[in-house]
Chains A and B, each alone.
Chain A
Amino acid sequence: MKIRNRLNQAYQQAPWRKATQKGVFFLIVAILTASVLWVMLTVSVQAASAGLDVRAMDKTVEETQREIASLRTDIAVSTSSSRMETRAKELGFRPAGPDEVVYMVIPGYSGREPRISAPPPTVNNEPVLIKPVYTLSLSELLLKGLQNANSFSGGRLP
């Protein structure tokens, strides 16, 4: 009781202490607010930046797919029947006649089997690229964090 009276007396005798207390309190609130704003701004900037990156990457993927398809067709053009025949003739080859072919038995070889030498067109099976942290608002993120925390705390030990 005595100590409390002394403190009251000290504050009454030195009003600047009250002002300092208010100032510190205001600064704490200001710093906390600034921190929250800074976090929100940072997350927002990261989300926007990631969104633009995703869009750019999507475009790159599309371009790459188109390029792959074009190159595949280019290869097919370069090895087309007419081109290969022309090149073979230029190199001095000619079609073999039936009487020029030698047949022999090769153990284990059952003849040419139909197969696919070219892969199917591009198939996208990539996992989800954008983390939920970039698609949720700050409040949604905090709520989700709380829910996760609850689910952990509610769990049972094995």
Chain B
Amino acid sequence: MNKPSYTRYWFVGGLLSAVGLLIFLWMVRILLSPEAEDFRKIGKAYESTERIIYPERGNIYDRWGRLLAGNMETYELGADLRYVSDPQTIAATLASILGVDYNDIFALVSEEWTSDLPRYVTLGTFIDPEKIKQIETIQDQLDEQRMQSSRRRKKDDQMPNLDGVQWTSMMKRSYPEHSLAANVLGFFAYRERENARGYFGVEEKYNQLLTGTPIKYDDALDPYKIKEIPNVPPGASLVLTIDRDIQAMAEQTLSQHIQNTGSKSGTIVIADPETGELLAVAVSERFDPNEYWTYGETFPGITAYNRAIGTTYEPGSVFKVLTMAAALNAGVVDPSTPFLDTGVIMVGGVAIHNWDRGAWGPQDMTGCMQHSLNVCLAWIAQELGPSRFYEYINSFGIGHLSGVDLAGEVSQPVLVPGDSAWYDVNLGTNSFGQGIAATPIQMVAAISSVANDGRMMTPHVLKSVIDNGEQYNNPPQVVGTPITAETAHTLTEMLATSLEKEASNALVEGYRVAGKTGTAEIPGPEGYLASATNASFVGWGPADNPRFIVYVWLEQPQSSSWGSVVAAPLFSEIVSKLTVLMDLPPDSVRQELANQ
């Protein structure tokens, strides 16, 4: 019996072992080579891709839950050059649907690309879904034609197609009310993509809240390692104090009056004096934030986005409300304090005259307010003294930011004794609102204390925040109590009486309102302008239980320069419409209903 030979087995086994060992050593060499780290990186790149998820931007609603700012679907259109075979058809189709230049698209999609790696070119951004639908329809039709003719045509024949064209959906900011309340909302510059943020108004002030927190995560390309996309909560939604209907009414009425009076611009602020909630803020310069890139056309140069908070002006006689409030509160005067108006008063060596340069004879304090006598108010300021006068002005918040929650608020410091630019005459002129500047929102905040038992509230537009399905209310904040409730009631009564005695254009049938006109000269580079004025009116009502305060400012009206002629009627019209929108019954009906 022959002994079996194992030589062949040893040879094959040895050979395989040697090959295995070689492979093993080669792998060790690769792992230890300088390029190993690069290989790992390449491998990592194929394993997953880093992705950032941006939350849906929060919505903005008016006080009744009507959408003022939301989001809409839009598309980015592009092409993967690996699959593009018919650049002409792509260029012609997109040119006809999107209205873009044929040559531009053709140049992009006809780039030579032979690699298997993807090459993506962007052909358009922020394209409406309807246009994408049209492109999709054409693509389907072309595919159908190609399918049908595939048997008949020769191998080299190429049918028209849109191969390689791709689209990706994304969100863009949308303002369904267009220009309505645009000055309150601001705008979100969504075209800046990753760097997009809110500008002006609520969009800027609450940008962080609205944006939410983007989340970065590794999106696995290996299907075995795919994980859930992390839950990204949307940005918080905001409910504003703005009433859409009141805002629309204010904007329409303002536009109409600007046209009728030939004013350069106009501003209306409507607020609830009890809470400081702003119900409407209307300004003449408005634009559609859906087309925010046209911003510069509507707001050239240094034009404020929202005059109510972004422009200071010398308010004129509406400021007398604050001077009188200070004097009444300090006990310097009372409504029956007599004053003999001689038509002129010397303050710091400068003569101050009344608006008509006339002498109005014996007056009481109500008469001083009724006839808007500069001489009387300058006398009151002197009686009060500069120290107390400016203390009150300070406590009314003049010269400070009101704290309104809108981006872009400005203020102008008040000159006080001790400042190099302050002169004794300033006390006199400041008493009737000249030589001192404030924004309409500062004036509203200050004067609302007279309409709210002496309490001054922070003006605000944010009513509540909805975050993760929970609603957080923004409670009203008291800034201070510059005057007592008694002073506030007394002054309201004086101003209501003065309007009635004057048979003012500001009166509203059925409602007793208190208020004050203002006609201010406008400072220029070489002193006050000769024929231009700012016409204002501030009023609140119902006088016995104020529910609203309305501030009106018309800049350089042409039909008349007087606030009593142009601003007072605007106030009256606003209030007569406002009472309907606020379901405010006339005083007589209200008292009747209260007695039932």
Contacts and interface: CB of A to CB of B under 8 A. Distances in A.
A19 interface: no
Interface stretch (A21-29, A50-58, A142-150): A50-58
Interface string B210-251: 000000000010011111110111110101000011001000
Q: Which among A58, A120, A130 has the greatest number of chain B C-beta atoms within 10 A? A: A120
Contacts of B174: 73, 77
B577 interface: yes
Contacts of B596: 105
A33 interface: no
Contact of B67 (A98, A115, A118): A118
Contacts of B64: 112, 114-115, 117
B56 A98 contact: no
Contacts of A66: 71, 73, 169-171
A115 B239 CA distance: 9
A7 interface: no
Nearest to B212: A121
B466 interface: yes
B58 to A, nearest CB: 6
Given A97-B580, A103-B589, A128 B67 contact: no
B65 interface: yes
B583 interface: yes
Contacts of A123: 233-234, 468-469
A81 B59 contact: no
B480 interface: no
A99 B585 CA distance: 10
A81 to B, nearest CB: 4
Contacts of A124: 231-233
B48 interface: no
B114 to A, nearest CB: 30
Contacts of B583: 103, 111-112
Nearest to A111: B583
A72 B67 contact: yes
B305 interface: no
A89 to B, nearest CB: 13
A82 B178 contact: yes
B177 interface: yes
Interface in B413-463: 463
A80 B178 contact: yes
Contacts of A125: 231
A104 B585 CA distance: 9
A125 to B, nearest CB: 7
A98 B585 CA distance: 8
Interface residues of A, number: 53
Nearest to B55: A121
B586 interface: yes
A118 B248 contact: no
A69 B61 contact: no
Given A82-B177, A82-B180, A121 B56 contact: yes
A81 B177 contact: yes
- Chain B contact patch, size range: 35 or more
A121 to B, nearest CB: 4
Nearest to B232: A124
A118 B463 CA distance: 15
A77 B67 CA distance: 9
A91 interface: no
Contact of B228 (A52, A54, A72): A54
B593 A95 contact: no
B509 interface: yes
Contacts of B178: 80, 82
Nearest to B63: A114
Given A66-B171, A116-B239, A76 B226 contact: no
Given A70-B73, A115-B64, A122 B234 contact: yes
Given A98-B509, A117-B64, A69 B171 contact: yes
B501 interface: no
Given A80-B178, A120-B234, A121-B235, A51 B224 contact: yes
B224 A130 contact: no
A115 to B, nearest CB: 6
B255 interface: no
A130 B72 contact: no
B228 A58 contact: yes
Nearest to B173: A73
A114 to B, nearest CB: 5
Q: Which among A47, A51, A55, A70 has the greatest number of chain B C-beta atoms within 10 A? A: A70
B576 interface: yes
Contacts of A49: 223
Contacts of A130: 227-228
Contacts of B59: 72, 118, 120-121
B13 interface: no
A48 interface: yes
A116 B470 CA distance: 12
15 contacts: A47-B223, A51-B220, A73-B67, A73-B174, A75-B67, A81-B245, A96-B580, A101-B585, A103-B590, A114-B463, A118-B66, A121-B59, A123-B234, A124-B231, A124-B232
Interface of B: 56, 58-59, 61, 63-67, 70-73, 129, 169-171, 174, 176-178, 180, 220, 223-229, 231-235, 237, 239, 244-245, 248, 463-464, 466-469, 471, 509-510, 576-577, 579-580, 583, 585-586, 589-590, 593, 596
Interface of A: 44, 47-49, 51-52, 54-55, 58, 63, 65-67, 69-70, 72-77, 79-82, 85, 95-99, 101, 103-105, 111-112, 114-118, 120-126, 128-130, 135
